[in-house]
Homo-oligomer: A and B are copies of this chain.
Amino acid sequence: MTAELISVGTELLLGNIVNTNAAFLARECAGLGLSVYYQTTVGDNPQRLEAAVRQALSRSDVVILSGGLGPTQDDLTKEITASVFGSALKEDAHTRERIQAYFDARGTKEIAENNWKQAVVPEGALVLDNENGTAPGLILEKDGKTAVLLPGPPGELIPMFRKAVYPYLHRKQPEIIVSEMVKLCGIGESRAEQMITDLIEKQSNPTIATYAKTGEVHLRVTARAADREAAELLIKPVLKELGARFGEFIYTMEEKVTLEEAVASLLKEQGLTVTTVESCTGGLLAGRLVNVAGVSEVFKQGFVTYSNKAKRKLVGVKKATLREVGAVSERTAREMARGAVLATGADAAVSVTGIAGPDGGTEEKPVGLVYIGVAVRGQTWVQECHFTGNRARIREASVAAALTLLRKGILETAEN
């Protein structure tokens, strides 16, 4: 079966935003075993949009449109697609109620009239509830062709795709694709790939693909088979081999588990609490830990010590240390981590101090120099990192490195 993507939006045509939806949808289609041969971006222009929809339906089985479902006059995706499918538009009572409830939940008293446009749907369409916004998704079918309409904001599109569209398309597709993810930290992509070149080259089913994320490498093992059981039988020995080769670099073999979740689980297993003390990352590390629902069991508090004074006052970094070796140093990172344990009574602490730029670098301490400190059960580790890229990238890389070193500290002191 073939699928095709149409992204609708002037922001895309003007280049004001990057089309991450297309990459997400393409990846999901690949996972479903749907072949995607075309992706098109058009604006909110009725003639061009209609031509794009007609052309896509003429050459692909499934057409996934994103964007142009909002409340404004510009938003035409639903109207155009309904007209191509020959469906009349009518108000959907359930969607009207849902939109009303959406605004009620936010305490909105006066709902702008144009919002009700979003409760109008093509007759015969399957309506997909939007749990993160107002515009519903829609699925239309006719003469063996399917059109899927999704809202443009990724925060609405992605959950809706996962919840409603994936299972829907999955049922249409006779051969299935099953993939498993092996996630690594503390190793670079080139090295990871070199360690399995033979596997990558030999295998055609399952295939192994590597993806570099900030501070992480993900390996996707994908098998194609008649059913899930057969696919899993193909995947199992590959996972075992990857486990043998990568060992402790693997922080999870579950697709949905993030590095912060893996670290939080490890802390729970070991009955440890952790605190954070951050300079250049300024709260992002704590923020990532708090991504984990239920993290309160292991994470109670953290510090952002951006100034030298805060480093001294909040976590007791010594004045002499700051004077002699400066805030961005191995000693400061170590004192921050130790001091945070003392200040909070947590079992573990992780600290970050570095130069995220664009200013503040010197020849001796260039932009990108970051020290990570970890204290667990009385032991400490410090890692010196040299990151490249802009301020945001250096800070993200620092957070990933901090989680990775914390994980290492927990594993090395594990009591079993």
Contact = CB atoms under 8 A, between A and B. Distances in A.
A386 interface: yes
A214 to B, nearest CB: 8
The 3 A-B pairs at the shortest CB distance, nearest first, are namely A282-B290, A15-B26, A283-B286
Interface in A291-307: 291, 293-296, 299-307
- By size class, the interface of chain A is 35 or more
A279 to B, nearest CB: 9
Interface string A268-300: 000000001010111111110111011110011
B286 A282 contact: yes
A298 B404 CA distance: 31
Interface of A: 10-20, 22-30, 36-43, 45, 48, 52, 71-72, 74, 102, 105-108, 112, 114-115, 131-133, 153, 155, 159, 188, 190-191, 193-194, 209-212, 214, 220, 276, 278, 280-287, 289-291, 293-296, 299-307, 309-310, 313-314, 344, 356-359, 366, 368, 384, 386-393, 395
Contacts of A14: 26-27, 30, 36
Contacts of A290: 280-284, 304, 306, 356, 395
Nearest to A132: B389
B11 A15 contact: no
A391 B17 CA distance: 22
A344 B107 CA distance: 34
Contacts of A278: 283, 286
Given A278-B283, A296-B307, A48 B39 contact: no
A15 B19 contact: no
